[in-house]
Amino acid sequence: MSVNDHSATVSRVIRMGRMLGFCIYATAFFLPACREPKLDTGAVPAGDVYKGWFCAWVTLINTFSRDVWRSKDFLAILSGWINPLILIYLVLLIGRRLVWPRRIVAGAVVAFMFATWIYFALVPLVPLIGHVMWIVGALMILAGEVVGRGSAGAGSVETESTIS
């Protein structure tokens, strides 16, 4: 297998992984993302369950609240900004010369994922299937930044720049 064949194969795998990741990511918005924990009383039902779209909406709307930025809830705002950053990342895939801006956005997405988990621990909230799928989908979209960086694949990341 030549270097060009290897690069083309890696590029196809990355594109397919991103497309599958985007499908998983989009599906997660319609699934239960998190819930309040059950209390230890036994008779109390599980807390409220929040779907992904609701979490995204609440966090983006609260972006403009000063009070939220002065509390631990700012971590939730950071998690809400993962969604616009993923869209920006996808737009940055269009240009071959946008590698560094794309990597900066990808790094911010990963950092904001950690902010989400810290927020879950502080509030507390229990992550559900929608949250897991949201994270997995986002990581699949971003994985092209680290896949194929071997000796033959190092240049393939630079040349692979479109989602389709």
Q: What is the pLDDT of residues 136-156, one digit of tens each?
A: 999 999 998 887 454 333 343
- Structural domain that includes position 16: 3-36+46-159
Look at residue 41 and tell me if it is in a domain.
Answer: no
State the CB neighbour count (10 A cutoff) for residue 122: 12
pLDDT category at 89 given cuts 50, 70, 90 is very high
Look at residue 150 and tell me if it is in a domain.
Answer: yes
| Tokens 């930025």, located at residue | 69
Whole-model pTM: value is: 0.81
Work out how many domains the chain is built from and give that number.
1
Look at residue 25 and tell me if it is in a domain.
Answer: yes
Look at residue 126 and tell me if it is in a domain.
Answer: yes
Q: What is the pLDDT of residues 3-44, one digit of tens each?
A: 677 778 888 999 999 999 999 999 999 999 999 987 665 555
Token pair recorded at residue 157: 């990341």
Look at residue 164 and tell me if it is in a domain.
Answer: no
